[in-house]
Amino acid sequence: MIVIQQLIAREILDSRGIPTVEVELTLSNGLITVASVPSGASTGEHEACELRDGNWQRYLGKGVLKAVVNVNDVIAPTLLNQSPLDQASIDQQLIVLDGTLNKSHLGANAILAVSLAVAKAAAICRQLPLFASLNVGTAQAMSIPAPMMNIINGGAHANNGLNFQEFMIMPLGFDDFPRALQAGVEIFQALKKILNTRGFSTSVGDEGGFAPALASHRAALDLILEAINSAGYSAGTQIFLSLDLASSEFYQEGLYHLSCENLHLDAAALVDYLSALVEDYPILSIEDAMAENDWAGWQLLTLRLGHKVQLVGDDLFVTNTRLLQRGIDQHIANAILIKPNQIGTLTETMAAIQCAKRAGYQTIVSHRSGETEDTTIADLAVSLAADQIKTGSLCRTDRMAKYNQLLRISADKAYTLAYAGPRILQCLANMKVT
């Protein structure tokens, strides 16, 4: 039996130059796997704990040496000589070793890096690609997720004044992933040209999207429609729009402050504002339209728009099955964003996807704004046939690495994997029509 022979953690840097955890796992057959974890900027209040050193002498307190020590001194001795094949058992041991509800003892960054390295080791033992190994035992037909590409950045990911954090395009009306990706890239390039011509900045935000200083959210949507058109695609049949408001960032004392438009809206007025956008633009998905603790606002939103568009809970659900179940029970939202580091183990992440699927919620596997070269989320999205993947814009290696991994998986002749775009299009476009 192949077993875990060595686990070593180290501090590396993410796409923002901020420390994060990488774990290197050596198997008894000498093969090595490496996994690292991302980090958010607009983090949900109820996310698992990202353990940081807090020592201001190093990396402004953001070092992760405590998490590194926790892997090397606490986790490694427990997992040595175990087979990596039983992910659920390994993750359960990590949860017990930590002993807290939010993984604050060992750190979700320490725990997740180990959990992912173990999954990669299991794939080696099974002699399968990671996506196929993750699929073992799930009885789930795999598919390639439809991307949500974040081509204009605002909110906490840029300094351009836009309050909405992400303006995304969804290339759904294509038969395969490579063609859909190509459309996204061509639209991104067209947008760059338009911005240049109008004298706007073409520098990019944290997720690789442009961050022009625009006067309103509608101005951003109009520019994107123009870019779609100019690249030769059709908005509303091939390409659709998607927003992430990350509204907890501009919610204060019961009001949503859209400072760039000088609007200060209560939940009902924000729902009106969004309904008008949905009427006027081919928007199929809105994420975190309401703040993470504004469940009453979410209820209002879902009643009004839940039959028309995908309403995604990110900070609301934080990949936590307990919070998701509350949403399902109260008929709140109809989709969940899945971020492994919000919950801290692969097993719990996969449980959240499966729980959402059972309830008929759409699933979107997601990166974080601070990323590494680790591409596990691409494999994860394929393995459980997540409907969509959110992994940023069409530039910067931290984002492109995930798209490139999906290209590799699409080209794997050993598997015939359908592109989820047409399936999502049918599901979401039907919603919008009714």
Cα 21 from Cα 12, distance rounded (Å):
6
- Residue of 40, 107, 340, 344 interacting with ligand PGA (CB under 6 A): 40
Cα 297 from Cα 269, distance rounded (Å):
10
43 touches ligand PGA by CB under 6 A: yes
- Residue of 52, 120, 368, 402 interacting with ligand PGA (CB under 6 A): 368
Active-site residue, 103 included: no
Task: State the number of binding residues for ligand PGA (CB under 6 A).
Answer: 11
The active-site residue out of 22, 47, 186, 207 is 207
366 touches ligand PGA by CB under 6 A: yes
Active-site residue, 371 included: no
Cα 103 from Cα 348, distance rounded (Å):
12
What are the Cα distances from residue 97, in Å, to 78, 90, 91, 162? 9, 10, 10, 43
If the CB atoms of residues 142 and 335 are measured against Zn ion, the closer one turns out to be 335
- Residue 47 binding result from ligand PGA, Zn ion, none, given CB thresholds of 5 to 8 Å by partner type: none
Please choose, out of 232-240, 257-265, 361-369, 408-416, the segment that lies near ligand PGA by the rule CB under 6 A.
361-369
Cα 158 from Cα 42, distance rounded (Å):
12
| Region 204-263 residues binding ligand PGA, contact defined as CB under 6 A | 244, 246
- Residue 282 binding result from ligand PGA, Zn ion, none, given CB thresholds of 5 to 8 Å by partner type: none
The active-site residue out of 62, 192, 308, 339 is 339
DSSP for 135-179, written as a single string: HTTS----EEPEEEEEEEE-GGG-SSS-SS-EEEEEE-S-SSHHH
49 touches ligand PGA by CB under 6 A: no
Cα 95 from Cα 78, distance rounded (Å):
12
If the CB atoms of residues 165 and 302 are measured against ligand PGA, the closer one turns out to be 165
- Give, as one character, the DSSP assignment of residue 49: P
Q: Tell me if 165 sits within 8 A of 154, measured CB to CB.
A: yes
Question: Tokens in use for 146?
Answer: 């439809």
- Contacts with Zn ion by CB under 5 A lie at 244, 246, 287-288, 314
Q: Tell me if 366 sits within 8 A of 149, measured CB to CB.
A: no
Please choose, out of 36-44, 102-110, 251-259, 325-333, the segment that lies near ligand PGA by the rule CB under 6 A.
36-44
Please choose, out of 38-46, 117-125, 197-205, 399-407, the segment that lies near ligand PGA by the rule CB under 6 A.
38-46
Indicate the Cα dihedral angle 418, 181, 40, 55, nearest 10°. Answer: 120
Binding site for ligand PGA (CB under 6 A): 40-43, 165, 244, 246, 314, 366, 368-369
User: Could you list the active site residues?
Assistant: 207, 339
